[in-house]
Amino acid sequence: MSRQKDGPRDRSSEAVGQVRDPWRAAPVLVAQIPEAGLHREIEADPAARTAIAEIAGLREVVSARATFDLTLQADGTVHVAGRVRARVGQDCVVTLDPVENEIDEPVDLIFAPPEQIPELADLVEDDPDDAADAPDPPEPIVNGQIELGRIATDALFLGIDPYPRKAGAAFEVEIAAKDPEDHPFAALKALKPSDGKP
């Protein structure tokens, strides 16, 4: 999951802030993450799927699951890696027929205590030579917790196809036949004597 993506998906990402945690899951207490790391799997219930569909402008969210591995780093940050898989119902942009699409979006984020974020963000911005591969600034750890449901929702929104199409559907472009008289030298041809003499 990367926050650098842009385009039509942005409206869905921005909508996350309009409804707090539509996919509610038990928050992870950072202090309770063992040294060996923590593995969590969550699944959206019908109420969460309905809320997500409404926010994202989807016809429905048929299923949504996520897996996460959380690793506590020596500097107090937490690496969250995982994957969000979902099946969503949309409308074909060509035929308007209902279609279903699969979402499989990876997650790779760093969370940090709020007081560390300005310093860590500066380190990211201070490396202009490697801007293309620079990691995103860390996300804040809020009240000592990381909410996996919110991460999963963001990832799901990022994975939505902004232009869903039914199999075989394509825009038909009408191409008019060229007029043989419509070319750059048509005017010169009209000036040429009809008897063929110079």
User: What's the token pair of residue 146?
Assistant: 């990381």
Cβ neighbour number for residue 77 with a 10 Å cutoff: 20
Q: Cβ distance 115 to 32 under 8 Å? A: no
* pTM value surpassing 0.85: no
- d(Cα 104, Cα 63) in Å, to the nearest integer? 12
Sign (positive/negative) of CA torsion 138, 144, 148, 154? negative
Residue pointed to by tokens 């860390």: 138
Q: What is the mean pLDDT of residues 66-76?
A: 96
Q: Which helix (H) or strand (E) holds 153?
A: helix 148-158
Task: Round the average pLDDT of the chain to a whole number and report it.
Answer: 81
> At residue 104, does pLDDT exceed 80?
yes
Helix, strand or coil, per DSSP, at residue 39: strand
Range scoring the smallest mean pLDDT among 28-32, 66-70, 167-171:
167-171
- d(Cα 111, Cα 38) in Å, to the nearest integer? 14
Sign (positive/negative) of CA torsion 157, 19, 110, 29? negative
